[in-house]
A and B are shown apart, each in its own frame.
Chain A
């Protein structure tokens, strides 16, 4: 890849990281209590999906009463 393009990409990535960080630090952090629902929702879904995947290891074909 061209050296100039690489440099440009790097700058864009750095800017995006800076902007996202700034939004999180200055905007969302100041009103964090307003986003707890979103946070718990995301954590909860991930937790249950992971637990379901872990427990699926002990699943088997058939009926419980076999």
Chain B
């Protein structure tokens, strides 16, 4: 037997970063495949072997700040486990799909930095990995090498830079008021990092909210994920939003906002809004990966709600949903990636009839769809139930209702996805099953979805509040029966009202429509009024510079012209009176001035150096006398 304590306790980020650095050495053939399989296994072992580091281990002092690169507790561990598991699955899935080393480098940096963020013990370290995540994931979009992907990537990085700046500003302001950057003080529990109320509080929340896709800050997600590469989308659906939920659980569990004299758990209600908003927009989508992207927002809503409720069972439910969601969402992106890989089509209106042609993909996709819909016996049922139960225990009935309705919408839209992709008749479509390297991780992930659904105790054991989790009965008769009825009714009504939710080749405006309008308005403002102002300022500055040059060439003449110009400017307001009384004089004066200005500047008579020096001394003497008289010397 291998003694797990003999394995070095190193931050998993180092494994993946080193792996990314070495990829170019292995070419593009079979050696690279073997290397990546070994790397995925090493990453899994590295995370499995993690234990709390000794005091001072992996801590560095930089300019007086204690940066902690490895902090291990139940919350960071469960995040680490699921990131490593799905990271390994995504690497395997990529082996046949990804051709360029650069894309692998981006994927590994992204995976590594996400693990770096969840094992960070302080806010600055978290911020460093947060930004690396943003830039490495950008590569996964740009490797699609299409104009749409390039534009979406630009919008994606702009959003994340805005979020990163907010986060950094929030960290700095919070540091100035509390004097601490640590996320993990010595108390028990995970939500013991208290953010000082004020502007820093909101900046931190906005920074985290961008990654967590809070509504109004969410548009980067459905905009960019469908344009990422096939393998890139599998990586992307896992890390960014879940790291956001992790940061939220560390900093804002149960956060409340004082509104109209009462404390509102706004983070929890934001979860409810996300849940419904994501589902409604998902139902309207035609692009399969866009539909899945909107469902990420919806499912992250459950996690945000759980964390926002802030009770032990709420946080457990939120984190359990992170774990389960990563499994089935990655599986769904893998399945849809296989469909796109096999058919070259990504719209529901163009798909159909794949059930017989791609049986393994169909079965795994149905398992993922049942999991995300919260069908009894699949993993989504366990964690969703836990969050809804937490909402009911906290007497948040509106939130519980929103989350329950979210389940209905989710099932409805996955009936739509699976029906129109696999089961609707389509004789024209040509496809064959995906390669083995794609099917293997899909099958393993599907197995895990069922395993955690049938035997959720494995999950309870690794949740942050283990003892509370073990008391939760996922298969209570009332809850199970209610869920089955709900889903049966939804299925019945889907097939009755199918005509009303048939996919159309249309797009639906989201809030980003307003952002784009505002962006175009800003560009117009820069190109027209602002540019005109800049040109005006430039002209005036050049005129002043010309005046100085003219003055320098012949100071006497320059002084005379300047005095006359000022005189004319002062007289101009009284032009009406002048026109009445001394009109001709003023007119000729102005004309003469223009003539003087236009006349070539005659060089001043040159003096000898001695005369010049004499003048300088004379001025200097006068200056000293003036200073002496003023009593300053």
Contact = CB atoms under 8 A, between A and B. Distances in A.
B284 A37 contact: no
A12 B412 CA distance: 38
A19 to B, nearest CB: 23
Contacts of A8: none
Nearest to B226: A64
B490 A44 contact: yes
In this complex, the member of A49, A53, A61 whose beta carbon has the largest number of chain B beta carbons within 10 angstroms is A49
A34 B485 CA distance: 9
B508 A58 contact: yes
Given A36-B482, A48-B409, A55 B508 contact: yes
B489 A48 contact: no
B485 A55 contact: no
Given A52-B500, A55-B280, A55-B284, A44 B507 contact: no
Contacts of A38: 485-486, 488-489
Contacts of B32: none
A63 B507 contact: yes
Nearest to B497: A49
Contacts of B223: 64
Contacts of A1: none
Interface in A1-55: 33-38, 40-49, 51-53, 55
B486 A44 contact: yes
Given A44-B404, A63-B507, A34 B280 contact: no
Interface residues of A, number: 29
B176 interface: no
Contacts of A45: 408, 412, 489-490, 493-494, 497
A25 to B, nearest CB: 20
Contacts of B481: 34, 37
A55 B280 CA distance: 9
Contact of A41 (B280, B401, B478, B489): B489
B405 A42 contact: no
Contacts, number: 103
Contacts of A60: 506-507, 509
Interface string B279-291: 1110110000000
Contacts of B412: 44-45, 48
B468 interface: no
Interface residues of B, number: 38
Given A36-B482, A44-B486, A63-B507, A52 B284 contact: yes
A47 B280 CA distance: 10
Contact of A65 (B151, B409, B501): B151
B67 to A, nearest CB: 40
A45 B478 CA distance: 21
Nearest to B506: A59
A36 B401 CA distance: 11
Given A41-B485, A44-B490, A48-B280, A59 B504 contact: yes
Contact of A59 (B490, B494, B500, B507): B507
A42 B486 CA distance: 8
B152 A41 contact: no
A37 B484 contact: yes
A49 to B, nearest CB: 5
Nearest to B223: A64
Contacts of A33: 478
A42 B489 contact: yes
Contacts of A55: 280-281, 284, 508
Judged by DSSP, the binding face of B is helix
B505 interface: yes
A15 to B, nearest CB: 28
A56 B284 contact: yes
Contacts of B408: 40-41, 44-45, 47-48
Interface in B267-283: 279-281, 283
Contacts of A42: 489, 493
A59 B493 CA distance: 24
B156 to A, nearest CB: 12
A35 to B, nearest CB: 7
Contact of B509 (A43, A51, A58): A58
A53 B297 CA distance: 21
A41 B488 contact: yes
B487 interface: yes
B483 interface: yes
Contacts of B283: 48, 51-52
Contacts of A36: 482, 485
A40 B481 CA distance: 13
B148 interface: yes
In this complex, the member of A43, A46, A52 whose beta carbon has the largest number of chain B beta carbons within 10 angstroms is A52
Contacts of A49: 497, 500-501
A37 B506 contact: no
Given A38-B485, A65-B151, A52 B501 contact: yes
Contact of B409 (A34, A44, A58): A44
A22 B501 CA distance: 35
A37 B507 contact: no
Contacts of B280: 48, 51-52, 55
B7 to A, nearest CB: 47
In this complex, the member of A43, A44, A52, A63 whose beta carbon has the largest number of chain B beta carbons within 10 angstroms is A44
**3 nearest CB pairs, A to B:** A37-B485, A41-B489, A44-B408
Interface of B: 148, 151-152, 223, 279-281, 283-284, 401, 404-405, 407-409, 412, 478, 481-490, 493-494, 497, 500-501, 504-509
9 contacts: A40-B404, A40-B482, A40-B489, A41-B490, A43-B405, A45-B489, A55-B281, A60-B506, A61-B505
Given A36-B482, A45-B408, A56-B284, 14 more contacts: A34-B481, A37-B481, A40-B405, A40-B408, A40-B489, A44-B412, A52-B280, A53-B500, A59-B506, A59-B508, A60-B506, A61-B506, A61-B507, A63-B507
